[in-house]
Amino acid sequence: MLSGMNIFWMIFFGTFVVGSVFIYAFAPKVGPGLVARFRAEPLTHAEYQLEAVSDANTPQPEQPLRTLEHEEVSPALEGIFLAKASEQPGWGITSHRISYYKADGSYEGTVEGGILFDCVNTVTSSKGSMIECRFLEEGTGDLFLIGRRDAMFYTGTHKRLLRSKIQALKDYYALNGKIETRKTELLEKRSPHFTAARAAYEAFLKNVQEAKQLEQTRDKLTGVKRMELEDKLRELKLKEVGLKKTLDEANDKFAEWKKTHAADLPKPEDDTNIQEWMREKQRLAAALPGLAY
């Protein structure tokens, strides 16, 4: 009979042989890269190349794309400059309260400073050079006309700017509009002719727009109804002459008063509201190089 020690050595050598056969039979299938992870020696050049190829073929988690919300881009590097008179602007922003017009040139309304819009085309009208644009925050999305001198126009596209920078630009020109409005209010309080001049202008403008709308309606009619509207239109045209005369006289009185009372005119820089808004404008302008004027 085999002694206990002999049985031990038989089991030991049997296990050693079976384990060796398993390693040599199956270890090549798992690849040198995996085997190397369980040994102390560094990878050979061939093993390193094989492991690199394996890692390259393994799907990696997607990296977040960088967007304009995460990086500061200079407007000049994006082709954004203040548009010259000879250039077609790509977009703009109202710098104060302005009037805007329909595509046919008729008066539509007013918007305050700080309203963003896209530019479509440049057209010539009786009012001079006009920009065909589309407001991005007010209006119906239809195309309107804005005077070339009534807003700030830029090249390129505002879509290349950070949303935070666009908001700062809107705030800047909204403040600019408030300052201009405040200056007008101060002048209105001081001048005895300001109210009359403004009332004359509004009456004249209302009559002009009413005549314009009447013309559009008349052109769609025929027969007796068309003739009736033509009679009303002639009345409005005659009324316009009188309103224009009243407006000119009111403007002349206001201009003469300003000329003879220059020393009495209010100083905007002394107004506490304007002082506060100017400080805020300066703070915003520091973050708007090439955009704030």
Q: Is residue 108 part of a domain?
A: no
Q: Is residue 81 part of a domain?
A: no
Q: What is the pLDDT of residues 196-207, one digit of tens each?
A: 999 999 999 899
Out of 103-107, 150-154, 173-177, least confident range: 103-107
Q: Is residue 32 part of a domain?
A: yes
Q: Is residue 54 part of a domain?
A: no
Give the per-residue pLDDT at 126. Answer: 74
In this structure, how many other beta carbons lie within 10 angstroms of the beta carbon of residue 140? 7
Q: Which two tokens stand for residue 75?
A: 């407007």
Distances (CA, A) of 22 to 17, 86, 146: 9, 83, 85
Instruction: Tell me the C-alpha distance between 63 and 55, whole Å.
Output: 17
Q: Is residue 44 part of a domain?
A: yes
The answer to whether 127 and 107 are in contact (CB under 8 A) is no
Mean pLDDT taken over the chain: 80
Domain span holding position 11? 4-49
Q: Which two tokens stand for residue 119?
A: 């530019």
Supply the DSSP string of 97-162, one letter for each residue: -EEEE-TTS-EEEEE-TT-EEEEEEEEEETTEEEEEEEESSSS-S--EEEETTSEEEESS-GGGS-
Instruction: Tell me the C-alpha distance between 61 and 59, whole Å.
Output: 7
Q: Is residue 35 part of a domain?
A: yes
Give the per-residue pLDDT at 12. Answer: 54
Q: Is residue 194 part of a domain?
A: no
Q: What percent of the chain has pLDDT over 90?
A: 48
- Looking at the predicted structure, is the pLDDT value of residue 143 above 50? yes
In this prediction, residues 205-221 reach a mean pLDDT of 89
| Longest CA–CA separation in the chain, Å | 140
pLDDT higher for 137 or 132? 132
Give the per-residue pLDDT at 9. Answer: 55
Give the per-residue pLDDT at 32. Answer: 46
Q: What percent of the chain has pLDDT over 70?
A: 74
User: Among the residues of the chain, which ranges form H helices?
Assistant: 4-36, 45-57, 163-190, 194-218, 223-260, 272-285
Report yes or no on whether pTM surpasses 0.95: no
- Looking at the predicted structure, is the pLDDT value of residue 120 above 50? yes
- Looking at the predicted structure, is the pLDDT value of residue 163 above 60? yes
In this prediction, residues 220-225 reach a mean pLDDT of 89
Counting the structural domains of the chain, the total is 1
Q: Is residue 21 part of a domain?
A: yes
In this prediction, residues 69-83 reach a mean pLDDT of 83
- Looking at the predicted structure, is the pLDDT value of residue 59 above 60? no
- Looking at the predicted structure, is the pLDDT value of residue 235 above 90? yes
